[in-house]
Amino acid sequence: MRIAMIGTGYVGLVSGACFSEFGHDVVCVDANPAVIARLEKGEIPIFEPGLESLVERNVRAGRLRFATDTATAVADADAVFIAVGTPSRRGDGHADLRYVYAAAAEIATAARDGCVIVDKSTVPVGTAEEVERICRETAPAKALHVASNPEFLREGSAIEDFMRPDRVVCGVAAGDSHAEGVLRAIYRPLSIRETPILFTDRATAELIKYAANAFLAVKISFINEIADLCEKVGADVQGVARGIGLDKRIGDKFLHPGPGFGGSCFPKDTLAILRTAEEAGSPLKIIDAAVRVNEERKRAMVRRIVAACGGDVRGKTIAALGLTFKPNTDDMRDAPSLAILPALQAQGATIRAYDPEGRAQAEPLLPDLHWCADPYAALEGADAAVLITEWNELRGLDLARAGELMIQRIFIDLRNVYPPEEMRAAGFAYKSVGRPRGDAP
């Protein structure tokens, strides 16, 4: 199949590269010439494990290329995927669809008869209908088909998620056998693994994406509240999470307490589904509560850090270990560190920071941090250390070396990475989340 991917951000580049790995002929389009120039030189603008080699292999094989001109790229395409950004709109939390609609008009002008235009971006219910209206208005003489194919990629494991997905969701208009046939052909390589490919109407497909992310966000806020309860009653949240996670109706994923959810999806998508529900007159009170719990969670983490430092961080140096919203990505969008670290600075703390991949993205957002080349440099001269993001290299610190470098052996572990007894043996005053017995004297 001949595929054009509009947008070379996280979703577009990963999806385009994976489609080319399936054997399709793919061109990824971006209006920014600098981005395309970097990609053509083999420079990947985002950090995603395995993506660089995947792109290089398929470019070399002639299945993947890059372009700035949409019209040329889509002219002979069987399917064109729209994978542009849909950021939260200022003021009301709705997804900003201006880039989706602009892409739709541009595609409709240049696409051939029979082309299937597919919304890959995360978009609210009704977007496919509006894209179809734009296509009819822009190119009334063409028979263009509009479908929805939401992505379910986790940053840090996106290639594995694409190649071995839990499911593929495709939304097509009633009776549109052509669009369904094209999508089935595109995803045929997955049929070898018997991947469930779910075909629905377009509104249902659009809502599946939002409902899935909202449900996972609720699980995170739920376990964070349970962690707080554990601390009050003397229970261990990790034992609770294991105990409930073994129930197949619940599952063990997203039951890890921490400083709250962030990233490019959960914060944006929960707000968008709340606005959709509000406009539809069907409020989603559970999701609304999860969002409010998440915002409070970040403030609670600041209070936890300050308390661990004796109630005052004025004039103290704090080592911040890991700043991205999760490991194995350089993504800083809505990362908890963006709320936690400025709040500590506002109370007079100096922050020495280390993140394996996030510095370039974080520096413009957190301009007053003292960046360090490795975790031990960050720990040197620190009154306390805060582990915010559980990168693998931060899971096995040399505690003896860390303690010797620090002024005080205070360690606040917001991800419950370290065993309390190990920290106790190393002489640390240790604070974790939902594990009261982990608070070393």
Q: What is the pLDDT of residue 439?
A: 57
Tokens of 363: 């520096």
Q: Confidence class of residue 326 from pLDDT cuts 50, 70 and 90? A: very high
Query: What distance in Å separates the CA atoms of residue 260 and residue 239, rounded to the nearest whole number?
Result: 19
**Percent of the chain clearing pLDDT 70 (strictly above):** 99
Give the model's confidence band at 284: pLDDT under 50 very low, under 70 low, under 90 confident, else very high: very high
| pLDDT for 437 beyond 70 | no
Output the pLDDT for position 134: 98
Q: How confident is the model at residue 440 (pLDDT cuts 50, 70, 90)?
A: very low
For 309, half-sphere exposure in the C-beta direction (CA atoms, 13 angstrom radius) is 25
Q: What phi and psi values does residue 429 have, to the nearest 5 degrees?
A: -80, 110
pLDDT at residue 389 greater than cutoff 50: yes
pLDDT bracket for residue 191 (50, 70, 90) = confident
> With contact defined as beta carbons under 8 Å apart, do 325 and 333 qualify?
yes
Measured CA to CA, the distance from residue 177 to residue 221 in angstroms comes to 41
How far is 64 from 290, CA to CA, in rounded Å? 41
pLDDT 10s digits, 17-74 = 999 999 999 999 999 999 999 999 999 999 999 999 999 999 999 999 999 999 999 9
What is the model's pLDDT at position 94?
83
Rounded mean pLDDT of 387-413? 97
Flag whether pLDDT at 80 surpasses 60: yes
Q: Does residue 140 carry a pLDDT above 60?
A: yes
Bin 36: left if φ > 0, else alpha if -120 < ψ < 50, else beta.
alpha
pLDDT of res. 95 = 87
CA–CA distance, 66 with 8 (Å, rounded to integer): 9
Give the per-residue pLDDT at 92.
74
Residue 258: band (very low, low, confident or very high) from pLDDT cuts 50, 70, 90: very high
Active-site residues, by number, are 265
* Nearest of 170, 108, 101 to residue 140 by alpha carbon: 108
> How many residues in total does the chain contain?
441
Residue of 264 and 108 predicted with greater confidence: 108
Residue 329 has pLDDT above 90, yes or no: yes
Residue 441 reports pLDDT greater than 80: no
- Is 121's pLDDT higher than 80? yes
Instruction: Give the residue from 284, 165, 159, 279 showing the smallest Cα distance to 214.
Output: 284
